[in-house]
Structure 1
Amino acid sequence: MNDDFDDELRRLFSDDRLDVQVTSDATDAVVRGADRRRRRRNAVTATFALVALVGAGVGLSQLRPPSDDTAGPLLPTSSSTASATPPPSASTYTSTVTVTVDPPTAGTGTPNPPGGNTTPKSSSKSSTAKPPPPTPEAAPPVWSKLSLGMSYDDAMATGELGNAGAGTNENCRYHGLKPGNGYVDVYISLITGIVRINLPDSGKTSKGIGAGSTVADAKAAYPTATQNGSQLVVPVIGTPQWKYVFETNGTNVTAVYMRVAADDQCL
């Protein structure tokens, strides 16, 4: 009986109808399927590595790991066509944020200064500008042919001097004018020259002020005049420095003379 069973097995194994028929491209199909699966795994690994590196700065869209369900049969028949799905692409998005700081106040068109809407405060104090001081008088210290600072000899040579009076100092000479209107009209220092000239009663300054003029007229003509007792004193720019002196009775000018600004023993 055992021999019959063995014979039956040999007959079955030797029957060509039970052989499995394998196509000639079966091996290549298996290799191609394995390559496709390896490429998909590598693509998925690279994609997740890119997400980890980029982080929050780069957005990734449409990242879909391929499904094994779409891989298709690993052992296609001779009539099937192999297709490879490309790896998903990564897109980078850049967002722009616009920040507006202190926008202009509506209706003004002027931006607010830092720290809020600050309106400059107008000063309630009004300053009154003071008028500039009057310009000092400027005139040559000359009367007729005589001038302050002129030496005694030059003064005598003009022919303007009258009789000499008695001097209170050996270096001082006092003369009247021709035709004299008083005893002492010209004061002369032998050291510094003429130091004072009294104008005659008819004499007037270059601005028309003389004996008989009102004090108001004198002050209007010479705004730099200062009161010194009964006198109005007007400093004048010249060489030497000198001044007008107006003797007054409080209402009118009674006499006018010119004198050097510096004190002198002959004055």
Structure 2
Amino acid sequence: MDLDDELRRLFSDDRLDVHSTPDATEAVVRGAERRRRRRSATTTAFALVVLVGAGAALTQLPRSDDTAGDLLPTSTSSASATTTTTAVSTFTSTATVTVDPPPSSSGSSSVKTETGQPTKTTIPAVPAPPQPQAQPGQFGSLKLGMSEADALATGSLIEPSSAADPENRCKAYATKSVPDANAVIISPVRGIVRITVPGYAKTPKGITVGSTVDQVKAAYPNATQSGSTLFAKMAATPAWSYVFETDGSSVTAVLMRLDANDCSTV
């Protein structure tokens, strides 16, 4: 008997058949159902652990807005006809830290107000003192510093002269426009040291006899006051000043005086 015949004999032997019980099929189905449920439960538990861990990590991160995070996608597991849905919500909190900027190089600083808005403060600049006016010391043909001979040559002086100081060093002259005997004072060294301006004449700033003290100070901001007299320095060569004699409220005389003079009465 060859091998093929022996195999046929064995396969046809009814004693080697495996006979199943009537409930074998149902038992196999129930076992497969239990395995599917265990796998589903394991998958759901793992998804929950991952989602909870992600939510805990997200709560540690700062956010730029104050709204709660959107709900995370749900995890769904199914077994036969039954569906289970689990939702996990995560929320984030925010923290805001404000740092003041360093002071600027210009000297200004920022101050926080109650509303949290920075307010810039600036130190006001100190105004510079008023500068002397630039104007030559001259009225008509007479100039401060002019020698006596040159002054007489203009024809503006009225002779004879008179002593202008107790030492009889300086001479005083009246002029054709101002009959006062001390209208012009001349030093033998400095030349003309003072000129009296006629009452009808006005300075380039509009000041004349009758102008108020306030008008003088407004026209000449650098003017200084000594008693009832105001002095307004001019920027010229030689250096000189306006002298405004007042009665306390208005100008009574306007004079032009050389700053460097050697006549004791000037």
CA-CA distance at 1:166 after TM superposition:
3.0
1:137 to 133, 141, 148: 133
1:128 to 107, 124, 127: 124
CA-CA distance at 1:216 after TM superposition:
1.2
Q: Is the 8 A contact 1:149 1:240 kept in 2?
A: yes
Report the equivalent of 1:160.
156
Report the equivalent of 2:180.
182
CA-CA distance at 1:123 after TM superposition:
4.2
More off after superposition, 146-155 vs 206-215 = 206-215
User: CA-to-partner distance for each residue in 1:116-174, whole Å, 9 max, x for gaps?
Assistant: 98532544554122223223211000011000000000000000001322343343110
Q: Is the 8 A contact 1:162 1:179 kept in 2?
A: no
Q: Is the 8 A contact 2:137 2:144 kept in 1?
A: yes
Question: d(CA) in 1 for partners of 2:222 and 2:63?
Answer: 58
TM-score by length of 1: 0.53
Question: d(CA) in 2 for partners of 1:173 and 1:230?
Answer: 26
Report the equivalent of 2:196.
198
| SS of the residue 1:196 aligns to | strand
1:221 and 2:219 correspond = yes
Q: Residue type of the partner of 2:189? A: I
Q: RMSD of the TM alignment (CA)?
A: 2.3
Rg larger in 1 or in 2? 1
Q: Is the 8 A contact 1:162 1:180 kept in 2?
A: no
Percent identical pairs in the alignment equals 45
CA-CA distance at 1:252 after TM superposition:
0.5
2:256 to 247, 250, 258: 258
Q: Is the 8 A contact 2:242 2:255 kept in 1?
A: yes
Structure 2: gaps (5+ residues): 1-61, 65-96, 103-108, 112-120
| SS of the residue 1:217 aligns to | helix
Structure richer in strand, relative to its length: 2
Structure 1: gaps (5+ residues): 1-104, 108-115
| SS of the residue 1:191 aligns to | coil
Report the equivalent of 2:242.
244
Question: d(CA) in 2 for partners of 1:138 and 1:203?
Answer: 19
Report the equivalent of 2:86.
none
The 3 A distance-change label for structure 1 pair 215 and 119 is same
The 3 A distance-change label for structure 1 pair 245 and 106 is farther
**1:37-56 alignment, distance < 5 Å:** none
More off after superposition, 227-236 vs 129-138 = 129-138
Q: Is the 8 A contact 1:148 1:193 kept in 2?
A: yes
